[in-house]
Amino acid sequence: MTKIKMPVPLVEMDGDEMTRIIWKMIKDYLLEPYIELNTEYYDLGLTERDKTDDSVTVASAEAIKKYGVGVKCATITPNAQRVEEYDLKKMWKSPNGTIREILDGTVFRTPILVNGIKPAVKTWELPITIARHAFGDIYNAQECEVDGEGTAELVITLPDGTVERQQIAQFDEKGGVVRGMFNTTKSIESFAEACFNFALDTKQELWFATKDTISKQYHHSFKDIFQEIFDTKYKAKFEKAGIEYFYTLIDDAVARVIRSNGGFIWACMNYDGDVMSDMVATAYGSLAMMTSVLVSPEGYYEYEAAHGTVTRHYYKHLKGEQTSTNCMATLFAWTGALKKRAELDGNDELAAFATKLEKTSIETIEDGFMTGDLVMLSELDKKEKLTTEMFVKEIKKRLDA
Ligand code: NAP
Ligand code: MG
């Protein structure tokens, strides 16, 4: 059998712990036997990040700008305990944060659906993709407690020295709390562009919602910027693709999401996205079935699993115990990246293989062969719990059949 050729590389970012082990299994069993895998490899494992003073993370993000597509394994974001465990020079920043800063992207999270695992919401037949605006609002705010009487004001100083003031509150002797938060037009615009592009890319409707009736400047700006960009740049493209952009109030959106059949992208302001992505992920089943892609306004794509390095399973693995870790989200990160590479290069063979691999892995679960996390959720009568490696091999068996 001749292997599928891949003339242009994609950026491969290796990672940590259990997902690093899954990474190798996916490559060994499910990719390299079929594809002449062409990647530019970056080791983002914590040891290598420490050794290179984290320059490897920056280099990998720069490489995504060069090649357009990357696939990333889950990585440890160090805390004090990790500094000790890995004897680190310092508490390095989250690689995902660093990469997002360089690419300035929006993260889209989509669940993988399989028969036998029903979403908590009965009507959801298709995945709901959540896009979270990961900049500003309460996440980059200044706030303080006010102990007693006092006046809080909003003060803007313009470059010419002009000062604009607005009173926020006059506190009584019991005081209160106050917060100053912001967002930037540039960041909102880039969020909107990423959402419109991703909707076109995946041929799905785009929903966006804020509380513009109450927040007449702040939230309303988000609404206006989206609408303006849509009208001037995307309206015709959406019409041609047969998809819609739909704006509503956040409370109305929440009600409609629950009544919907899924199959759309839900763009959320930062806090809404933080909260709603956890709700939607849980309602669809397992974190191990949630995929994630970072899309930059320039159209660079970085695929990964939404979950972390599954530390608890890794420590079992180190003790020589069997693990049953689900590789689906990591596998779909790979297939997502391969399909994007294929699309950019017009490589039909590669696209067909990636699609077949996704289909085969879903069929494996639907036939009753799955990892422990899914056994608990699946309503199939006949189901078997496989180890991490057995599940990967079961997919391969079907791929070869
Ligand atoms: P986690 O790795 O997502 O795992 C949390 C729990 O979820 C696991 O213990 C496991 O539950 C279940 N789970 C997650 N993925 C699974 C899979 N593929 N198969 C089966 N079960 C799965 O989160 P964490 O333990 O909070 O974080 C571990 C490390 O990951 C941290 O160092 C953190 O910094 C890092 N992290 C990285 C990323 C990223 O790179 N994108 C994201 C999040 C966290 P049971 O133990 O009950 O089986
Ligand atoms: Mg959250």
Residue-level pLDDT at 158: 97
Q: What's the gap in Å between 288 CA and the centre of ligand 1?
A: 8
The H or E element that residue 42 is part of is strand 39-43
Q: What's the gap in Å between 31 CA and the centre of ligand 1?
A: 24
Whether 155 and 303 map to the same domain: the answer is no
Within-domain flag for 113: no
Average of per-residue pLDDT across 90-116: 91
Beta-carbon count within 10 A of 134 CB: 19
Q: What is the pLDDT of residues 146-201, one digit of tens each?
A: 999 999 999 999 999 999 999 999 999 999 999 999 999 999 999 999 999 999 99
Choose one of 227, 254, 284: the last residue of a domain: 284
Residue-level pLDDT at 337: 98
Whether 301 and 361 map to the same domain: the answer is yes
Whether 22 and 130 map to the same domain: the answer is no
Whether 262 and 401 map to the same domain: the answer is no
- Residue 35 β-bridge partners: 4
Residue-level pLDDT at 149: 97
DSSP labels for 205-245?
A: EEEEEE-TTT-TTHHHHHHHHHHHHIIIIIHHHHHHHT--E
Within-domain flag for 112: no
Average of per-residue pLDDT across 359-385: 96
Q: Which two tokens stand for residue 235?
A: 């309206």
Residue-level pLDDT at 144: 93
Name the band, by pLDDT with cuts 50, 70 and 90, for residue 371: very high
Ligand 1 atom 44 nearest Cα: 308
Whether 201 and 169 map to the same domain: the answer is no
Burial (0-12, 13-18, 19+ Cβ within 10 Å), 266: buried
Residue-level pLDDT at 100: 87
Within-domain flag for 83: yes
Residue 22's CATH number:
3.40.718.10
Q: Is 323 in the pocket of ligand 1 (CB under 6 A)?
A: no
Could you give the CA distance from residue 148 to residue 169 in angstroms, rounded to a whole number? 12
Whether 7 and 99 map to the same domain: the answer is yes
Whether 149 and 278 map to the same domain: the answer is no
Name the band, by pLDDT with cuts 50, 70 and 90, for residue 134: confident
Q: Is 268 in the pocket of ligand 1 (CB under 6 A)?
A: no
Q: What is the pLDDT of residues 311-358, one digit of tens each?
A: 999 999 999 999 999 999 999 999 999 999 999 999 999 999 999 999
Whether 8 and 84 map to the same domain: the answer is yes
Within-domain flag for 289: no
Residue-level pLDDT at 135: 85
Within-domain flag for 260: yes
pLDDT surpasses 90 at 281: no
Name the band, by pLDDT with cuts 50, 70 and 90, for residue 260: very high
Q: Which two tokens stand for residue 206?
A: 């785009």
Structural domain including 155 reads 142-180
Within-domain flag for 50: yes
- Which of 287, 376, 391 most suits a substitution to test ligand 1, by most atoms within 8 Å of the C-beta? 287
Output the average pLDDT for the chain: 95
Ligand nearest to the Cα of 45, by number: 1
Strands 290-295 and 301-305: antiparallel
Choose one of 180, 209, 233: the last residue of a domain: 180
Ligand nearest to the Cα of 107, by number: 1
Whether 66 and 93 map to the same domain: the answer is yes
Choose one of 284, 304, 334: the last residue of a domain: 284
Identity of the residue numbered 14: D
Ligand 1 atom 40 nearest Cα: 74
Residue-level pLDDT at 285: 84
150 in the Ramachandran plot: left (φ > 0), alpha (ψ -120 to 50) or beta? left
Within-domain flag for 259: yes
Q: Is 288 in the pocket of ligand 1 (CB under 6 A)?
A: yes
Whether 276 and 372 map to the same domain: the answer is no
Whether 237 and 209 map to the same domain: the answer is yes
Within-domain flag for 48: yes
Could you give the CA distance from residue 72 to residue 353 in angstroms, rounded to a whole number? 20
Contact 51, 79 (CB under 8 A): no
Residue environment code for 232-258, b if the CB has 16+ CB neighbours within 10 A, otherwise e:
eebeeebeeeebebebbbbeebeeebe
Calculate the CA dihedral of residues 389, 390, 394, 399 and round it to 10 degrees: 20
Three-class secondary structure of residue 267 per DSSP: strand
Number of domains in the chain: 3
Calculate the CA dihedral of residues 238, 262, 305, 367 and round it to 10 degrees: -130
Contact 292, 277 (CB under 8 A): no
Q: Is 358 in the pocket of ligand 1 (CB under 6 A)?
A: no
Could you give the CA distance from residue 175 to residue 157 in angstroms, rounded to a whole number? 26
Three-class secondary structure of residue 303 per DSSP: strand
pLDDT surpasses 80 at 115: yes
Name the band, by pLDDT with cuts 50, 70 and 90, for residue 97: confident
**309 Cβ neighbours under 8 A, 6+ residues apart:** 15, 16, 17, 18, 19, 20, 74, 75, 76
- Residue 40 β-bridge partners: 11
Identity of the residue numbered 30: L
Residue-level pLDDT at 198: 94
Average of per-residue pLDDT across 67-88: 96
Strands 301-305 and 69-72: parallel
Beta-carbon count within 10 A of 297 CB: 18
Whether 159 and 148 map to the same domain: the answer is yes
pLDDT surpasses 90 at 299: no
Q: Is 386 in the pocket of ligand 1 (CB under 6 A)?
A: no
pLDDT surpasses 80 at 1: no
- Which of 20, 278, 307, 391 most suits a substitution to test ligand 1, by most atoms within 8 Å of the C-beta? 307
Q: Which two tokens stand for residue 27?
A: 């490559």
Ligand 1 atom 10 nearest Cα: 310
Q: Which two tokens stand for residue 135?
A: 């900049």
Q: Which two tokens stand for residue 386?
A: 């496989």
- Residue 206 β-bridge partners: 245, 265
Average of per-residue pLDDT across 11-36: 98
Ligand nearest to the Cα of 139, by number: 2
